[in-house]
A = this chain, B = another copy of it.
Amino acid sequence: MNPLIACGRCTYCLTGRGNLCENRTMIGMTRPGAYAQYVTIPEHCLIDLPTGMDSAAAALTEPTATAWHAVNLAERTGWRPLAECDAMVIGGGAVGLLTALVLRSRGARTLELAETNALRRKTAEGQNILCFDPSRPPAEPAADVVFDCVGSVRTREMAIRAARPGAVVVHVGLQEAAGGVDVRKITLAELSFIGVYTYTTADLRAAVDALHRGTLGDLKWVEARPLKDGAEAFHELDAGRSAAAKIVLLPQ
């Protein structure tokens, strides 16, 4: 389902930007979250799953739609097609790794993922994504499109530094609210620094389709565990002890 419930009538909804709907409500924010025993949702927010779709793949729909939406806006903003762009993704969590997989599926010319956690780098490398440790970032601006999937002062600094003249910097993460923005560089190098927020129902549908068709690879990096081990999984992720960018909890 789309947890972001749009009105369908405002200018944003009518121009394909339901994620910015003026009258939106949200599961888990203004309505009870999905840990509640029952939730109600308007029918138009439901996303059909293909028959026989793997439930662990289906559980990736939300972060995949976030990545899908971010890449859509980057393509729309960029001057040249992704096939001519050197792409960089900062952050190898679920959204970062999925952004890299979406970029690859759309034929980005080159692709690099920056991640401090060696376990996560190994996970991404298992999907044949070229990774590097951002404590040793590239000396020269080397990217035509950069996705900051962390959103801290340091990652924004890195994203803007990595951007070639005319590049698109896509801000996806939300760790720190301000700082790290070199406006002089943005202006003189004519960068587009764009914020992206969630996804539309169209993005969610496309994400389900891409996951089910295998467009984003074998998804073997997703770890499945029994529901009862959920608390321990949260602890591991928080402590950086897990190689998994995403852990799916399955009811027994």
Using a CB–CB distance below 8 Å, which chain A residues touch chain B?
A: 12, 15, 17, 19-20, 22, 73, 77, 79-80, 151, 156, 165-166, 171-174, 176-197
Contacts and interface: CB of A to CB of B under 8 A. Distances in A.
A192 B190 contact: no
29 contacts: A12-B165, A12-B166, A15-B79, A17-B79, A19-B190, A20-B190, A22-B165, A73-B190, A77-B77, A156-B183, A171-B186, A171-B187, A174-B188, A177-B182, A177-B183, A178-B182, A178-B184, A181-B181, A183-B195, A186-B193, A186-B194, A188-B197, A189-B195, A190-B197, A191-B194, A192-B192, A192-B193, A192-B194, A193-B193
A18 to B, nearest CB: 11
Contacts of A73: 190
Number of copies: 2
A248 B141 CA distance: 40
B191 A187 contact: no
Instruction: Give the most central of A172, A174, A186: most B CB within 10 Å.
Output: A186
Given A12-B166, A166-B20, A181-B178, A172 B187 contact: yes
Contacts of A180: 183
B183 A77 contact: no
B196 A187 contact: yes
Contacts of A19: 190
